[in-house]
Structure 1
């Protein structure tokens, strides 16, 4: 299996810095509470001096959403939505230790992180423009059809695993208690994205190894090396 961005995405968003991580052996019984709290403290410190919309990581995604024809205050990237909820409520809901950990790392770095159950993916995941015939399943179980030109995470079966790029994932490949093998994707477009994404991946790999433990495989992708391969 593999993960990649299409050549059109690299062409239109040359500032993109994506990373992918694959891990096996995830279980729902890990105690991630202390690590989540540490990352939440970092997020709170950043929000003490600015709102989430002022952060350079979020501003870059807002500009990208505007370029895609989306109103940034109507459709937010995942990290902005999480930071907004965290600022208002002081905490994020607990769903699964891996999701909770990735959400905490996401708000600490203000970078969107997507997590997919590999067993629910067909062949590959590619971030590309929709053809208009793909299907997307919401967390409520409803089926939607992204319009042609929308940036989606698509597999070989024509299933969209995320809509509007980093706005919303699909319920079809969401992590659940039975999930064992996962693909994790982080994407940034701000000026210091290269260094920040590298630090994020190192942090996340260390956390995964500590909590489960697993030995994750990871890579930072570039136009010259756009594909991340992992076991089926």
Structure 2
């Protein structure tokens, strides 16, 4: 089963620096704990605790501020619906520890805290064909995280990850993941994502991908495909192929 991940041209028109990093993991056992992952997450939490950032300080971080501006550009109030990275950073900055979920969710949370970027583990075992980052038309069906029996429809124009079956797998870009793509324990087919919208964000995305790939290689040597990066020049990637590839934009 292959998967084409693509970014709608309209996204880059309004968010020209949007960069999406991807790591495909065709099959791996997601466990409840990995010592290396727990150490990474604890270290990221400790470093953030030491900075004693307030809510306004988190919002002013350059990577977060860029997401807040981008959310406003797409008609979303970032105070009510902060991006995934801001939500994590706020929670940890006030002194909390994040709940330990499983090896891949915890890994993504750790890298998100370090990179100050949205990082997610997506179970794509039920997705085949195309996954597109695009403005919603309002007809997509979204199954809320941990509440799949209460389906929603995204607002028209809201950015979502949409598949070829008319399902939305996020709300308000990366504010919430869907129940379909949440990562549970067991044998899984995953795509790890890293997103940035600030100028020069590609370097930050590539560094976060390196961190992810290093740990994933320790968990399952040789199981992940090479990281790929999508931007305005290269908006499409083919995953779960013998050799994953990206496709340049046509002008």
How does the TM-score come out when normalised to structure 1? 0.92
The runs of 5 or more residues in structure 1 that have no matched partner are none
Change (3 A) 1:180 1:66: same
1:37, CA displacement in angstroms?
A: 1.9
The residue that corresponds to 1:60 in the other structure is 66
Change (3 A) 1:196 1:93: same
**Which portions of structure 1, spanning 4 or more consecutive aligned residues, are displaced by more than 6 angstroms?**
none
**Which deviates the most, 46-55 or 200-209?**
46-55
The residue that corresponds to 2:233 in the other structure is 224
The residue that corresponds to 1:10 in the other structure is 12
1:39 aligns with 2:36: no
Summarize the alignment of residues 1-150 of structure 1 with structure 2, pairs less than 5 Å apart: 1-23=3-25, 24-31=27-34, 32-45=37-50, 48=53, 51-139=57-145, 140-141=147-148, 142-150=150-158
8 Å contact kept, 1:82–1:107: yes
Number of residue equivalences = 232
1:29, CA displacement in angstroms?
A: 4.4
Change (3 A) 1:44 1:216: farther
Q: Distance in 2 between matches of 1:162 and 1:41?
A: 29
Q: Give the secondary structure class of the aligned counterpart of 1:144.
A: coil
CA RMSD of aligned residues (A): 1.9
Q: Distance in 2 between matches of 1:138 and 1:182?
A: 19
Q: Distance in 1 between matches of 2:157 and 2:127?
A: 22
8 Å contact kept, 1:25–1:181: yes
Q: Distance in 1 between matches of 2:231 and 2:80?
A: 30
CA displacement 1:27-67 (0-9 Å, x = unmatched): 21441211222333344455559821121000000001111
**Which deviates the most, 123-132 or 222-231?**
222-231
Change (3 A) 1:38 1:213: farther
The runs of 5 or more residues in structure 2 that have no matched partner are 242-251
Q: Give the secondary structure class of the aligned counterpart of 2:67.
A: helix
**Which deviates the most, 36-45 or 70-79?**
36-45
8 Å contact kept, 2:67–2:197: yes
8 Å contact kept, 2:28–2:223: no
Identify the match of residue 188 of structure 1 among 155, 175, 196: 196
**Which deviates the most, 4-13 or 152-161?**
4-13
**Which deviates the most, 158-167 or 111-120?**
111-120
